Amino acid sequence: MDFSLSPEERQIRDTVRSFIEKEVMPLEPEVLRNEREGRPGLDPEVLRDLRAKGRRSGLWGINTPEEYGGAALGAVMNAIVAMELGRTFVPFRFGGSADNILFAADEEQKRRYLIPTIEGERQSCFAITEPGAGSDARNIRTRAVRDGGDWIINGEKTFITNGNDADFVMVFAVTDPDKGADGGVTCFLVDRAMGWTSEPIATMGEWGPAALVFQDVRVPHENVLGEVGGGFALAMQWIGQGRFMIPARAVGSAERLLQMAIDYAGIRQSMGRPIADYQAIQWMIADSAIEIESAKWLTLHAAWRVQQGKDARHASSIAKIHGALMANEVVDRVLQIHGGMGYTKELPIERWYRELRLLRIYEGTDEIQRRTIARNLLKGHARLGTIGE
Per residue, what are the HEC states of the chain?
CCCCCCHHHHHHHHHHHHHHHHHHHHHHHHHHHHHHCCCCCCCHHHHHHHHHHHHHCCCCCCCCCHHHCCCCCCHHHHHHHHHHHCCCCCCCCCCCCCCHHHHHCCHHHHHHHHHHHHCCCCCEEEECCECCECCCHHHCCCEEEEECCEEEEEEEEEEECCCCCCCEEEEEEECCHHHCHHHHEEEEEEEHHHCCEEEECCCCCCCCCEEEEEEEEEEEHHHEECCCCEHHHHHHHHHHHHCCHHHHHHHHHHHHHHHHHHHHHHHCEECCEEHHHCHHHHHHHHHHHHHHHHHHHHHHHHHHHHHCCCCCHHHHHHHHHHHHHHHHHHHHHHHHHHCHHHHCCCCCHHHHHHHHHHHHCCCCCHHHHHHHHHHHHHCCCCCCCCCCC
363 is catalytic: yes
Q: Positive or negative CA dihedral for 377, 382, 383, 385?
A: negative
Q: Does the CA dihedral 120-56-27-20 come out positive or negative? A: positive
Q: How far apart are CA 86 and CA 39, in angstroms?
A: 22
Q: For the chain, how far is it from start to end, CA to CA, in angstroms? A: 13
Q: Which residues pair with 9 in a beta bridge?
A: none
Per the residue annotation, which of 84, 291, 355, 363 is the catalytic one? 363
Distance CA 131, CA 372 (A): 22
Q: What is the CA radius of gyration of the chain?
A: 22
Tell me which residues are annotated as active site. 363
